[in-house]
Amino acid sequence: MAAYLIRRLWQMAPTLFGVVLLVFLLFKGFGGDPAEILGGLNATQAQVDAIRQQLGLSEPLWTQFGIFLKQIVTFDWGRSWATNESVAHLFATRLPATLTVMVPILLLDTLLAIPFALGVAYVRGSLTDRVIMIATTVALSISFLVYVIVGQYVFAFQLGLFPVQGWSDSLATNLRVYAPLPVLLAVAVSLAPTTRLYRTFFLDEIGHDYVRTARAKGLTERTVLLKHVLRNALIPILTNVAVALPGIFVGSFLIEVFFSIPGLGREILLAVNRSDYPVIQAFAIYIAVITMVVNLLTDVLYKLVDPRVVLS
Amino acid sequence: MSAVIEAPLAAPAPGRRSAGVWSAAARRFRSDRVGMVSLAVAALFLLLVVASALGLVAKDWQVERGVPDAPPSFVGPRAQAENVAAAGPSGPNVDISAVDPLAPRYQEWAEAAKKYQTTAAARAATLPFGADRLGRDVLAKAIKGAQVSILVGVSAALLATTIGTLLGAAAGYFGGKVGDLLEWVYNVFTAVPGILLIFAFAAVFGRGIGSVVLILGLAGWTGIYRLVRAEFMKHVVRDYVRSAEAIGAGNVSRMFRHILPNVSHVILVQLSIHVVAFIKSEVILSYLGLGVGVDEVSWGTMLSEAQSELILGHWWQLAAATIFMAVFVTAFSLMTDALRDALDPKLRGLE
């Protein structure tokens, strides 16, 4: 196990190096000149040159890459160009809001989709099944934006069941007052595709021999589905949740924008709009690291769920 | 034995050749009723896009032809608001020309103004599907928006498919060092979550139709790369490829004249799937202000305008953009499903 972990961590190095190189070259090659962005419209040439000197932009490319690497390793990104807030602080203060919304969404989505998908798989091939499948296709073709716009309008503005938007400093208030509507809308939208996906997982398992054996033993369809099929289908479901996990750090930026939730997703979007390069670069690299670590943890988890899996 | 040797001699009569992959797929597709209907709807939309691009329809979407926020015709004109202007002054104007320093030039200006006389266009109280905040026809906007959104989706999908196919073919065909290098590039691109990658590209490429195509294409090729690579790895060791090598076909010829036609069905299905995904992404990017420019219209910019209109009870722009998009995307998705079933019968029944 230890050897496996070390090898996997070692394998991450080239990928991580590639991500750093990609981000560096992307902003160096295609992005605007940081000195001119920082200087603003009224900066004189002397001021721009001074900023360039300060940021080390007149150094050769290799030295600049060295500075970039040093920033990453020491977690010292300096400050946001727009708000002068340190990037590390930005990251730490925006993460809780994102998690407050995203963790309930992921949990509810997974926990609700499993029984729904089981139910649909139970009536597979019937008219109900076909109608549900067609309805989800149509529902999926409507943009996520429309659901949120209409949902916010109807539930918050017209019916007044929830606040239209807002956020507070207390976790309890956030969970009770501000998070329910965003969570509800996001789950309502993601439930259909998740159910569809899980249904295919269940149907894949239903074709296997052990299911036939279980039926031949005289077990009821319910027992077969709940005890045999469900346990085996948990593996692809786990994979799917693992794939979605890094996403909870990026946050559903649309939800955050709509409901003015001060999370990471909204912060990234603001950074893009303000050409705030340090923030975008830092987020891209750290989220990539988190993604890789989560993927590794998932592979280890497989071993726990399914003893047949050999880690190699 | 002789029968085996003679078999090629007794070649099938002309016109009785066994059906090829494509004609067999076309036959399967034609027998799929849902697929045919959705194909017709999608074709209708593409026709609309071409007509709109050529300027046959919706050319004057920027003309303000209705009153601001004019309701749809089937709703009827809005009731006149009770905001009567304050009563004007009564009695003759006081002649102040003696003290007004500009008075001598009024005549001259009135003459000059006559040269630029414009007639205020009559503004309709209602339009077939209503008007937006400026009085522009929502129907024309939705058609123009369809042109932009669909063109962006298709171009971005073509770009992503080209990148994915070229890299996937190289990785699968050559393997070894080239394969490792491309795998590394793939790992790097997939290590960053998709939306973050899109944002990073958006930060450096800026706005505009071309940028959106570039952003989506560069961020979205990885899935196609993976599939094409797997297909090429499978095909490169097959006998027909070795035969091609034996008759002196070069690497490029083997990759693109021999193997590519045999995996093109996979690529076609992927292209189709990506069109839908990219249209949805374009709508979201445009909504966030990272997409098409301000003087262009797409379904995304319509939705972002519609959000503030809805608060005032003007639902028609939201409805128009939603209906157009829902119909096209549903038809295109169903067509993709039918296409996949027809081209790759092995996958049938997976969904």
On the question of pLDDT at B228 being above 90, the answer is yes
Q: Give A158→chain B minimum CA distance, Å.
A: 9
Report, as an integer, the average pLDDT of A269-285.
84
Residues of chain B contacting A19 with CB distance shorter than 8 Å: 188, 191-192
In this prediction the ipTM stands at 0.81
* One-character DSSP codes across A48-93: HHHHHHHHTTTS-HHHHHHHHHHHHHTT---B-TTT--BHHHHHHH
Q: Which residue of B has its CA nearest to A196?
A: B351
Among A residues 6-35, those touching chain B with beta carbons less than 8 Å apart: 14-16, 18-19, 21-23, 26-27, 30-32
Q: Which of A178, A51, A200, A181 is nearest to A124 (CA)?
A: A200
DSSP at A308:
T
Hey, of B184, B198, B199, which one would you mutate to test binding to chain A, going by the most A CBs within 10 A of its CB?
Answer: B199
Mean pLDDT of the residues in chain A: 83
DSSP 8-state symbol, B66: B
Q: What is the pTM of this model?
A: 0.82
Query: Quick one: tokens of B290?
Result: 């990272």
Give the least confident one: A241-245, A307-311, B63-67, B148-152.
A307-311
Grouping H, G, I as helix, E, B as strand and the rest as coil, residue B72 is strand
CA-to-CA dists, residue A190 to A104, B112, B275, B286, angstroms? 13, 63, 20, 21
* Mean pLDDT score, B287-311: 86
Residue A7 pLDDT exceeds 50: yes
Q: Specify the length of chain B in residues.
A: 351
> What is the separation of C-alpha B69 from the centre of its chain, rounded to a whole number of angstroms?
27
Looking at per-residue confidence, does B88 or B283 come out higher?
Answer: B283
- Give the tokens for residue B259: 């193997």
pLDDT at position B155 = 95
- Determine contact, residues A43/A36, Cβ cutoff 8 Å: yes
- What residues of chain A, 213 to 272, have a C-beta less than 8 Å from chain B? 246-247, 250, 253-254, 257, 268-269, 271-272
The minimal CB distance from A31 to the residues B204, B307, B318 is found for B204
* Rg over CA atoms, chain A: 24
For Cα atoms B175, B177, B181, give the angle at the middle one, nearest 5 degrees. 95
pLDDT value of residue B11: 45
Contacts of A254 in chain B (CB under 8 A): 284, 288
pLDDT computed for residue A250 by the predictor: 66
Q: Which residues of B touch A22 (CB under 8 A)?
A: 188-189, 192
What is the percentage of chain A residues whose pLDDT exceeds 70?
98
Contact state of B195 with A250 under an 8 Å Cβ cutoff: yes
Q: What is the pLDDT, as a whole number, of residue B1?
A: 40
More confident residue, A303 or A14: A14
What pLDDT, in 10s, does the model give residues B151-209?
999 999 999 999 999 999 999 999 889 999 999 999 899 888 888 888 888 888 888 88
Q: What share of chain B is helix, strand, coil (3-state, %, to 5)?
A: 65, 0, 35
Min CA distance, B306 vs chain A (Å)? 9
Q: How far apart are CA A53 and CA A62, in angstroms?
A: 16
Answer yes or no: is pLDDT of B58 > 90. no
| pLDDT for B99 beyond 80 | yes
Minimum mean pLDDT among A24-33, A141-150, B39-48: which range?
Answer: A24-33
